[in-house]
Amino acid sequence: MRIPLQVRPQMKIAFVYDSIYPYVKGGVEKRIRELAVRLVHRGHEVHLFGMKFWDGEDILNHEGVFLHGVCPAQKLYAGGRRSLWQAMYFSIFLIFALLKEKFDIIDCQQFPYFSCFFAKLISKLKKTPLIITWHEVWDDYWYEYLGWKGFGGKVTELLVTLLAQHCVAVSITTKNNLKSIGYDRQITIIPNGVDLNHVRSINPSDESSDIIFVGRLIKEKHVDLLVRAFSILSSEQQNLRLLIIGEGPEQDAITKIIQELLLENQVVLRGFHDDHDKIIAQMKSAKVFVNPSTREGFGITALEALACGVPVVTVDHPANAIRELITEKNGFTSSLSEKDLADTICIALQRYTEMKNDCIASASAFDWEKITSDIERYYLSVIETR
């Protein structure tokens, strides 16, 4: 039950993450934006601390939320990998920005790790409770990501688990992975969400597709596998259309595969829209949503697809939390094989009409208003037990 606004204690809340929506579009950015705007509507004062992606003043008021550009924006990726320099650069400037104000709660996203150490320092100096929100746990994946240098990443991740008494995980997968690397304190699951009423209000796009992917174009998403699976499908079924919406370091490689497989007339690759409603409209005009990711802390775009009534196909991998959203009524899982993925998508294309209502029903448990109530109660409980 939502606490009535007139009796709800007002909180001054700081979210910490290097990227800010809508300048960077990703799952973490979207989560923070959705929670922040709703918390403001409930009478709280909310500040976001990230890199400055805009011109003009360092602090903006956007939809009632104060956006702090703590340093000039740096490239997030270098050589196809998240930039170590960028993470350090942002974290150093963060400490000076957080020192200027006193907050009731600091909610720091675990990535890009270094910012958590500086947020902890401010938490101690200001006597402000620190919450670290975990979106995923990499553990041994660090070695796959960085080779032998991954040892440093793994140690850093382990050190971050020691920083905060209060911990939020966005999925059961993330919670279990945290426990597996030795986190022995309470972990509260507060998932990501979707604005169901807003999704209902959006009309389908005039541009239809059979299959749609929305997300960052990084290796872990395996969009190359999706294109190859689509090639198999298109050789068996004529006139299929795949729409890929995303940006990232794998964009050139994916474009090359599309050209090599002679799929330019059937596969459309385009960047993110400035207006997210256009993406929702295109989801509504698709038959099946596919995300063959092997590293997903939650999967907001998959949840949005379900809210649009579109069944989801993903891969059965232990680090892929999208699997938690999937039931036999709203989607399918496959192995990380282009043939198996193609076969699974084929089944989804045959059944997408009958699954529509179940897809929407499954998304209803993740309405952003409910998630905001959960995070609001959690923040208040942390303050009360300070």
pLDDT tens-place string over residues 246-281: 998 899 999 999 999 999 999 999 998 888 899 999
Whether a cis peptide bond, with omega within 30° of 0, leads into 22 is: yes
Span 367-383, average pLDDT: 97
pLDDT at site 22: 87
Span 228-256, average pLDDT: 94
Residue 71, pLDDT above cutoff 90: yes
Q: Would you place residue 8 in the very low, low, confident or very high pLDDT band (cuts 50, 70, 90)?
A: low
Of 38-47, 72-81, 227-236, where does mean pLDDT reach its minimum?
Answer: 72-81
Please, what are the domains in the chain? Answer: 5-193+367-384 (3.40.50.2000), 196-366 (3.40.50.2000)
Span 175-187, average pLDDT: 94
Which CA distances in Å does 4 have to 8, 301, 385? Answer: 6, 31, 22
CB within 8 Å of 22: residues ≥ 6 apart: 29, 33, 274, 276
Contact 378, 170 (CB under 8 A): no
Of 62-71, 73-82, 153-162, 362-371, where does mean pLDDT reach its minimum?
Answer: 73-82
Contact 189, 171 (CB under 8 A): yes
Residue 320, pLDDT above cutoff 90: yes
Q: How far apart are CA 47 and CA 59, in angstroms?
A: 10
Residue 80, pLDDT above cutoff 80: no
Span 50-74, average pLDDT: 95
Does 25 or 245 have the greater pLDDT score?
A: 245
Q: Give the global pTM.
A: 0.87
Span 203-221, average pLDDT: 95
- Name residue 2's amino acid: R
Of 25-34, 122-131, 319-328, where does mean pLDDT reach its minimum?
Answer: 25-34
The 10s digit of each residue's pLDDT in 279-305 is: 999 999 999 999 999 989 899 999 999
Q: Would you place residue 73 in the very low, low, confident or very high pLDDT band (cuts 50, 70, 90)?
A: confident
In 3-state terms the chain splits into helix, strand, coil percentages (rounded to 5) of 45, 20, 35
Span 141-162, average pLDDT: 92
Q: How far apart are CA 325 and CA 299, in angstroms?
A: 9
The 10s digit of each residue's pLDDT in 28-40 is: 999 999 999 999 9
Q: How far apart are CA 42 and CA 377, in angstroms?
A: 12
Span 186-208, average pLDDT: 96
Contact 243, 284 (CB under 8 A): no
Mean pLDDT of all residues belonging to the chain: 93
Using only the alpha carbons of the chain, give its radius of gyration.
21
With a pLDDT cut of 90, the percent of the chain lying above it is: 83
pLDDT at site 5: 45
Nearest to 173 by CA among 26, 318, 325, 331: 318
Q: How far apart are CA 247 and CA 254, in angstroms?
A: 11
pLDDT at site 9: 66
Residue 3, pLDDT above cutoff 50: no
Does 37 or 235 have the greater pLDDT score?
A: 37
